Every structure is written in C-alpha cells, then in structure tokens.
C-alpha cells in the first residue's frame, strides 16, 4: 500500500507546478516538546527542535505523517529519530513551533504589487499562526523586494490539516516571506502581510476559496496577477515593446566597470539563474550584457531579476537575443 501511494504521489507531482504547496515547520528559537521517538506516546520522552526550518513536499509529508489523528509527527533531519507530539499541545497558544502548508512564489514581487497593497508594515521572521499573535505588533519597515516571495500560507490546526487532507477546514493568508539567496527561509528578516488596510493583520480565508481559485490549482504557477486582479501573464497577447518594459532603461546609464565591486549582487543573480533555468550563464560581466535567449520559457523571471539587478547596481544592462515565452515570442528589450 505504501509503495502504491508513493507511486501515485510521484505521478501527481509530475503535473504539479514547481511552486505547489510544501509542508513547512519553523521556529526562531530552540524548543523542547513532549512526544516519543517511536510514536508510542510515552509522556516522558522529549523531542528537541532546533532553530530554523524543515520542509517536505506536501505529498511526501502526507505519507510520513503520524497515523494517530491526535498526534503531529515533527519534521526533522533524516539523522534524527522520528518524534510525534500531541496535536493539542503542538497547536496550543504557547507552542513555539509553527507548521503550515505554503505555496511560495519563485520570483520577487513587483513594485506594482507592493503599491497595490501598500506594503509598509512587518513582523519579525516568518509569521506566527493567528492564535499566537496576541501582544505582537506590526511595525513600519521598508520591504526589500529581492529578498521577498509571495507566500500563500495555510495554517496547520488540531482538527484541520495535517489531521485531514488540505481542504476547507484550513485557514489561509497571503504574506510576503523573506528568503535567502538559495530560496530557503530567512527567519532573521521581516515578513509583510498582504492586506489593503494600513497596519492590519491579514484577513484569513478558507483553502480553495473561489476568489483565489487559481492559487489552489496545482497545475498553475503562483502568479501575482491573481492578487492584482489581472489575467495570468502567460495568457496575454504580445504587447508593444514599450508597454512590456518593467522600467525605462533610459533613466540610468549603461553598466560599466563600477558594478564589478558589487559581486555579491551578481552572485545572487547567478544563483537564481541556476535555480530557474539551469547552469547556463547569461550574464556577461565584461561586456555587461544579458543573453535573453538563455531565459527562453522564463521571460517574466528574466524581466523581474534583471530589473532588480539594475536597480541595485544603478546602471542598465544591454540585452541581446530574444527571450521566447511559453507559446509567445517576446522580443528582447
């Protein structure tokens, strides 16, 4: 039975968008939880949870979770023994460990999205579950777009997921979550709620809610056009070059030697390029040009990352070749 379920999960994963939900367990400080290594429930066993985050694909997590509905199996390093704790304690008001099913976008949010939601207020680290926010205050902060990703966060609960499959009992929220250059959570930086009202926590909604139906379609990538009230970008007809440009390149001078001193910024661009399109390098640091053809199929990502790189460097990259989108030819700019 386990083998059949694993096969089904692998087949399902083949039709899932790369940014489909994952199970994320995280805490900013060490925690000691009661449970047991063999899931028998001895009350004297102790589970230690280190600071940081653990993650599993949602299908893999479903196969590995505790068979007992009243227990939660912790996400742990493969070197650590299994440990399950009582769900009532794990999801209590004082629990320091969070568990959520999260869809995390693969590219930074646009300026248009930040403006649309007036993103100005934050909370330290990745967010706490709604029941654990008593006494927490949002504080004014300036978002760093390059280090943020849109996150559709569906919270774990004692009588919802993971006790049952992801569905209507789960409460979800929209957040901008901080990540490192490798895409892993950055629990030392600030998260920003995506709300239209000033200085407010997000308004929870149910998993699968119709107004966000595209976000719950496992075959569709998480596209910010949904939040902006637009059609998915891939479905739009070709636009004139001037209209498609994310920023007027004439506003800043072409890149030259001064950008070389900021190699960490360029290295971050390389890391994202390897994650999105593979090991091929498109950025020529000598001639300061970007080979758009290397990003074919990922033209939107190229636009976002190139704009972020130019903003940080304070100069405009030359672009050569054409980036061919998904079924749409997009001339390079």
Domain ranges of the chain: 17-226, 237-330
Beta strands in the chain (DSSP E): 22-27, 31-34, 46-49, 52-57, 71-73, 84-86, 98-104, 121-124, 139-140, 148-155, 171-178, 190-193, 205-206, 283-284, 289-291, 318-320, 323-324, 329-330
Mean pLDDT of 257-281: 70
Closest C-alpha to 115, from 6, 256, 228, 259: 228
* Direct distance between the N- and C-terminal alpha carbons of the chain, in angstroms, rounded to an integer: 53
242-251 as b/e, with b when 16 or more CB fall inside 10 Å? eeeebeebee
Nearest to 26 by CA among 67, 56, 46, 62: 56
Query: Using one digit for the tens of pLDDT, what is the confidence trace for 228-250?
Result: 986 554 433 434 433 434 444 33
Which of the two residues, 331 and 218, has the higher pLDDT score? Answer: 218
Instruction: Give me the percent of the chain exceeding a pLDDT of 90.
Output: 47
Cα 329 from Cα 238, distance rounded (Å): 8
Residues listed for the chain: 333
- Are residues 203 and 195 in contact, defined by beta-carbon separation less than 8 angstroms? yes
Round to whole Å and give the CA distance between 4 and 50: 33
pTM for the predicted model, two decimal places? 0.66
Higher pLDDT, 295 or 209: 209
The pLDDT confidence band at residue 149, using thresholds 50, 70 and 90, is very high
Nearest to 143 by CA among 161, 126, 162, 118: 118
SS3 259: helix
The contacts of residue 233 (CB under 8 Å, 6+ apart) are 223, 225, 300
Distance CA 226, CA 215 (A): 8
CA separation for the pair 23, 9 (Å, rounded): 15
Tokens standing for 203?
């308004």
- What contacts 24+ positions apart, CB below 8 Å, involve 263-269? 265/309, 265/312, 265/313, 266/309, 267/181, 268/146, 268/181, 269/305, 269/309
32-44: pLDDT as tens digits: 988 877 666 666 7
């Amino acid at each position: 039975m386990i083998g059949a379920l694993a096969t089904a999960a692998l087949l399902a994963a083949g039709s899932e968008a790369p940014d489909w939900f994952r199970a994320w367990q995280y805490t900013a400080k060490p925690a000691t939880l009661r449970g047991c290594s063999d899931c028998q429930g001895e009350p004297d066993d102790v589970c230690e949870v280190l600071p940081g985050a653990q993650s599993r694909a949602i299908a893999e997590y479903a196969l590995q979770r505790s068979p007992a509905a009243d227990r939660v199996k912790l996400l742990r390093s493969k070197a650590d023994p299994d440990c399950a704790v009582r769900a009532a304690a794990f999801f209590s008001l004082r629990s320091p460990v969070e568990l959520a099913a999260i869809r995390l976008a693969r590219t930074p949010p646009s300026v248009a999205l930040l403006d649309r939601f007036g993103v100005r207020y934050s909370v330290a680290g990745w967010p706490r579950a709604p029941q654990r926010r008593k006494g927490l205050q949002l504080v004014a902060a300036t978002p760093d777009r390059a280090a943020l990703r849109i996150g559709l966060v569906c919270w774990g609960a004692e009588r919802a997921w993971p006790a049952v499959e992801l569905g209507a009992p789960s409460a979800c929220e929209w957040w901008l979550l901080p990540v490192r250059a490798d895409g892993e959570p950055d629990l030392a930086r600030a998260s920003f709620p995506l709300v239209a009202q000033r200085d407010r926590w997000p308004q929870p909604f149910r998993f699968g809610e119709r107004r966000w139906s595209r976000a719950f379609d496992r075959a569709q990538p998480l596209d910010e056009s949904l939040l902006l009230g637009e059609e998915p970008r891939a479905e739009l007809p070709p636009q004139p070059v001037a209209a498609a440009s994310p920023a007027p390149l004439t506003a800043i001078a072409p890149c030259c030697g001064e950008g070389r001193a900021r190699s960490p910024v360029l290295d971050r661009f390389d890391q994202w390029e390897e994650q999105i399109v593979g090991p091929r390098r498109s950025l020529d640091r000598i001639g300061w040009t970007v080979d758009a053809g290397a990003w074919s199929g990922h033209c939107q990502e190229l636009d976002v990352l190139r704009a972020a790189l130019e903003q940080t460097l304070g100069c405009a990259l030359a672009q050569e070749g054409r980036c061919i989108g998904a079924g749409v030819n997009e001339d390079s700019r």
